[in-house]
Chain A
């Protein structure tokens, strides 16, 4: 059985339907990519999982428990930690305080200290800026903090929404290297990305969303094998181009 199973969810914002019947699964230990152009419904799917948006139809089941109608705080407590689009670190809190808040649900103080030590070793820049306001970090550093903060809750599954957005090419490389490392540590990850080329290099499976529907589901190799998709999405990043019509 899958760790996370989304079945046929529909989300409307007023008259606009953002997601119309998306289904996907993520297995334990898997890295799954969710790709597509802007407005394809990736972020809405993500927000539905973490309980910020409530789907009008469909089911979301996480290790046997329905997530529909659950509050964001409950969903985190079940073991899903999000790294949201735009990083969403707490700018007026220090790096340390951001990390401590990441462990807000953890009672074991010693374990929290260990984790802080672990992730500041993993991200030396965070140790360097430990007592500084997080708002003063650069974009890439904030991304590191957002990831470390999510990991502080010791999640079973990490949701990452566009972690490479707005970063310099070098930093994008760093972020993907980080995801690779997390994957190798055995973390289950659902990765929402626009950077298709790099995403395909690190995921086990990939879903392609288009106008609120799943247009393709399969392995990266299967996706690469489809010429039309290749043309529409992969050339030069291919984000601004018109969505591909299914063959």
Chain B
């Protein structure tokens, strides 16, 4: 029982951490541009194919991983420059539709240039191993996901609190024009937000593909849907909300998988997205309240 619980905790913390990173990448862009980036999942795909192609080199895996993350960051920056900057001043709906088009474009480019079939990139052998602590068996993949996600969250928190760009990113989510009136360059802040979004997607991709063990043109769909759920539930305009939403969803997912009968689990997506609709209707600001009370304004 205790061992079950320990395994559950590690799995849930690992998955929750990755979901939190995923949601953060979505929310950090949304906060500033009011753009819900549908094409965000394709950044995971880009990193996945990065792993596939760079993985053919003789370099150690860690380099492959870093370069793949870099691919996602570059893809995010290119996406911003080419597709989103020209529609920056349009309505949120127009931007959302643009990102839908970008997503379709990238998926089909992968289909055309690479292959519709799943491709297996080189992964470190240790990903399939597990460790034993007494009676507790813990997957290395889970454990490394847990550690990396927590390190990434801490690093991002430090960045957002201690650097001027970080402050500017948070301030821009409050009031973009006013942030510019502090002398902060709009293009720089937006590029930084997209770069972080690519970084998050890239990190998630390593573990996501570590789990699926192959990459396909549509591999980004599930991560982006998860990011939607987590960020809507946590609150679209709150970074803290994204993290909370990610962990809640991680625990929920593992919990449902572990304890719910299979045929009920089949309706999991329906239930999760039903919750999304409900939250949008009943509590559009998400479950996490801002640190400051609105009444005081």
Contact = CB atoms under 8 A, between A and B. Distances in A.
Contact of B181 (A76, A91, A134): A76
B293 A104 contact: no
A95 B31 CA distance: 20
Interface stretch (B112-120, B172-180, B223-231): B172-180
A90 B293 contact: no
A245 interface: no
Interface string B171-211: 10111011111111110000000000000000000000000
A110 interface: no
Nearest to B296: A136
A97 B175 contact: no
Given A100-B167, A104-B168, A104-B183, A84 B293 contact: no
Interface string A43-79: 0000000101000000000000000000111001100
A135 interface: yes
Contacts of B170: 90, 92-93, 97
A76 B183 contact: yes
B183 A136 contact: no
Nearest to B165: A104
Contact of B164 (A90, A100, A135): A100
A82 B180 CA distance: 11
Interface size class of A (residues with CB under 8 A): 20 to 34
Interface string A82-106: 1010001011110001101110110
B296 A137 contact: yes
B297 interface: yes
Interface in A184-209: none
B291 interface: yes
A50 B182 CA distance: 11
A77 B182 CA distance: 8
Nearest to B239: A92
Contacts of B174: 90-93
B296 A138 contact: yes
Interface string B260-297: 00000000000000000000000000000011111011
A140 to B, nearest CB: 12
A133 interface: yes
Contact of B291 (A76, A135, A149): A135
A170 to B, nearest CB: 18
A104 B297 CA distance: 24
A135 B175 CA distance: 12
A153 interface: yes
A97 B182 CA distance: 12
Interface of A: 50, 52, 71-73, 76-77, 82, 84, 88, 90-93, 97-98, 100-102, 104-105, 133-138, 142, 149, 153
6 contacts: A72-B180, A88-B175, A93-B174, A97-B161, A104-B167, A135-B291
Interface of B: 161, 164, 167-168, 170-171, 173-175, 177-186, 290-294, 296-297
Given A52-B181, A91-B297, A97-B167, 9 more contacts: A71-B186, A73-B180, A73-B182, A90-B171, A98-B171, A104-B183, A135-B292, A135-B294, A135-B297
